[in-house]
Amino acid sequence: MKIFRTRAEVYNYLETLKLKGISVGYVPTMGALHQGHLSLIDAARKKADIVVCSIFVNPTQFNDKKDLENYPRPIEADIEKLKEANCDVLFLPEVDEMYNSSDEWHIELDHLDNILEGEIRPGHYQGVTQIVKKLFDIIRPDYAFFGQKDFQQFVVISYMVNKLNIKVQLIRCPIIREVDGLAMSSRNVYLSAEDRQNALSLIKALTKAKEDFNTLSISDVRKNAMDYLSKARGIKVEYFELFNARTFEPASSKENENIIALVAARVGSIRIIDNMIL
Ligand code: AMP
């Protein structure tokens, strides 16, 4: 696996390959890699000639300084995992390589950046779109792979790609879960044993919502889930919403809509998000 730390080096390397007609599949990450990330590498390997992964803990998408400081950075272990997964190229820049002091960014994101995650994490999706645009400009991938785990992020990036007419095909990959159902996440390592157990209430609420959806109205499905989560041990629910997965508006009817349930909660000091297509 080739490792590049500068934009110029990775850009030049990939441009040479592209001239030979080689297609590029790209997986952007913030590292602390787990099976969820590696499933994206696998998907990229199946679709493209070469697989590029980046690891960059992007400061502009963190609205909580402590969260940024504490974000896990086990870089040596990550490199080993990527080698094992047959990743071809790792782009591993420092913050100075990606940003300079004159950087400014604001993109109109319709209503998408001030609801759900955007409401709770102001500026988060401006930071996400800022770094993804920069990374897309450097890697210029044919395909880019993202997890359904961050469903709203996928919606936001799709919106940006359409709006700026970026030539990339976005591919959404399924959520990878632990055996007991907890969605894998880099932040899970910070859950205490007790919180780790309490966190299962999120997947339980989603699974129950999927069942309820067969017989109950949208508002009753949501109400049951909120009731359940507000009583669950060690959980502070932030939202549980049913949205139209295509328009990303609150779901209004069960017919002709692809509906997704999205949940966020604090478990101890850790924020956890999850979702499920109903
Ligand atoms: P992150 O390193 O958290 O920025 O995530 C990098 C990519 O991995 C994003 O596209 C995430 O949606 C995806 N991802 C994170 N967790 C999972 C998971 N459990 N299953 C599938 N994809 C995931």
Q: What is the pLDDT of residue 253?
A: 87
Q: What mean pLDDT, rounded, does the chain reach?
A: 97
Polymer length in residues for the chain? 278
Please check whether residues 209 and 78 belong to one and the same domain.
Answer: no
The answer on pLDDT for 37 being more than 80 is: yes
DSSP H or E stretch at residue 8: helix 7-19
Q: What is the pLDDT of residue 257?
A: 78
What digits encode the pLDDT tens for the residues 151-209? 999 999 999 999 999 999 999 999 999 999 999 999 999 999 999 999 999 999 999 99
Structural domains in the chain (count): 2
Please check whether residues 194 and 166 belong to one and the same domain.
Answer: no
Confidence band for 255, pLDDT divided at 50, 70 and 90: confident
Please check whether residues 32 and 163 belong to one and the same domain.
Answer: yes
β-strands 259-267, 143-147 pairing: unpaired
CATH code at 51?
Answer: 3.40.50.620
HSE (CB half, 13 Å, CA atoms) of 187?
A: 18
What digits encode the pLDDT tens for the residues 67-87? 999 999 999 999 999 999 999
- Strand, helix or coil at 25? strand
* Ligand 1, CB within 6 Å, residue ranges: 29-30, 36-37, 39-40, 146-147, 149-150, 173, 175-176, 183-186
Q: What is the pTM of this model?
A: 0.97
**Are 238 and 223 spatial neighbours (Cβ–Cβ below 8 Å)?**
no
**Are 134 and 56 spatial neighbours (Cβ–Cβ below 8 Å)?**
no
CATH code at 208?
Answer: 3.30.1300.10
Of 221, 228, 223, the residue nearest 276 (C-alpha): 221
What is the 8-class DSSP label of residue 125? H
Please check whether residues 6 and 84 belong to one and the same domain.
Answer: yes
**Are 173 and 43 spatial neighbours (Cβ–Cβ below 8 Å)?**
yes
Which residue lies with its CA nearest to atom 14 of ligand 1?
A: 147
Give 273's strand partners: 264
179, part of any domain:
no
Q: What is the pLDDT of residue 252?
A: 86
The answer on pLDDT for 94 being more than 80 is: yes
Q: How far is it, in rounded angstroms, from Cα 89 to Cα 103?
A: 27
Domain end (from 143, 173, 203): 173
What digits encode the pLDDT tens for the residues 207-231? 999 999 999 999 999 999 999 999 9
The answer on pLDDT for 256 being more than 80 is: no
The answer on pLDDT for 271 being more than 80 is: yes
By residue range, what is the domain housing residue 244?
A: 186-277
37 is catalytic: yes
Cα distances from 116 to residues 110, 111, 249, 250, 261, in angstroms, run 14, 10, 11, 11, 12
Ligand 1 pocket mutation pick from 26, 34, 92, 146 by most atoms within 8 angstroms of CB:
146
Specify the ligand 1 atom closest to the Cα of 148: 12
Please check whether residues 88 and 211 belong to one and the same domain.
Answer: no
222, part of any domain:
yes
Percentage of residues in the chain with pLDDT exceeding 70?
100
72, part of any domain:
yes
